[in-house]
Amino acid sequence: TLRTEERQRLARERREEREKQHAAKETQILEKERKAKLQYEKQLEERQRKLKEQKQKEEQRRAAVEEKRKQKIEEEKERYEAVMHRTLERNQRLETRQKRWSWGGSVTPDSESKTALLYTAGKRSTSTANLKQTEAVVNKRLSSSAALLNAPDRTRRSQLSPLDSSVISRLLAPTQASLARSKSAATLSAD
């Protein structure tokens, strides 16, 4: 019986030792799982933070690009208005000069004045051709500039505004003035 009791005691001790080892292993496994879960949550938070920062940077970059685009359009508009203003001023000066020219005086046409008039007529036909080319270029530039300024309004792109029509007619004035000066010069030389 002593040997049986001894065997039972040893078996109980071994069983208790195995249970302790098993409990320690379970504790280690649970600790590892807890650490892995914490690590995963930390990585997830870090990833979300990076995504948020990246999104903010992208929005800032987009806003900066939009601001730059608006500024460029504004500069183009100012440059266009300045060119239009200078053109109008130049046309007004030319009109004033044209009004100063004297058209009076009767001249009897002789061979020299006829030659001068033929030369002027030839220049007039050349100037008319140049005038048509210039008008086409001006129309193209004005319509493209108007399209740039009024990009959202697609219906008005192909039409010219009264201001543009006025500018075109004023742009035509220098050519007419130069023709008038040529004619006047021919008349004066005939004098």
Q: Are the C-beta atoms of residues 120 and 127 closer than 8 Å to each other?
A: no
pLDDT at position 148 is 46
Q: Is the pLDDT of residue 68 over 50?
A: yes
d(CA 142, CA 165): 10
Q: What is the percent of the chain where pLDDT is above 90? A: 42
Closest to 135 in 3D by CA, of 170, 161, 187: 170
Tell me the average pLDDT across 70-85. Answer: 95
d(CA 60, CA 69): 14
Q: Is the pLDDT of residue 163 over 90?
A: no
* Mean pLDDT, the chain, whole residue set: 76
- Please tell me which residue, 48 or 119, carries the higher pLDDT value: 48
Structure tokens belonging to residue 82: 């300045």
pTM: 0.34
Q: Is the pLDDT of residue 14 over 90?
A: yes
DSSP 3-state percent helix, strand, coil across the chain (nearest 5): 90, 0, 10
pLDDT at position 103 is 54
Task: For the beta carbon of residue 174, count every other beta carbon within 10 angstroms.
Answer: 19
Structure letter (DSSP) for residue 159:
S
Per-residue pLDDT band for 25 (boundaries 50, 70, 90) equals very high
Q: Which of 1-5, 6-10, 136-140, 168-172 has the highest mean pLDDT?
A: 6-10
- The count of residues in the chain is 191
Q: Is the pLDDT of residue 187 over 80?
A: no
- Please tell me which residue, 16 or 109, carries the higher pLDDT value: 16
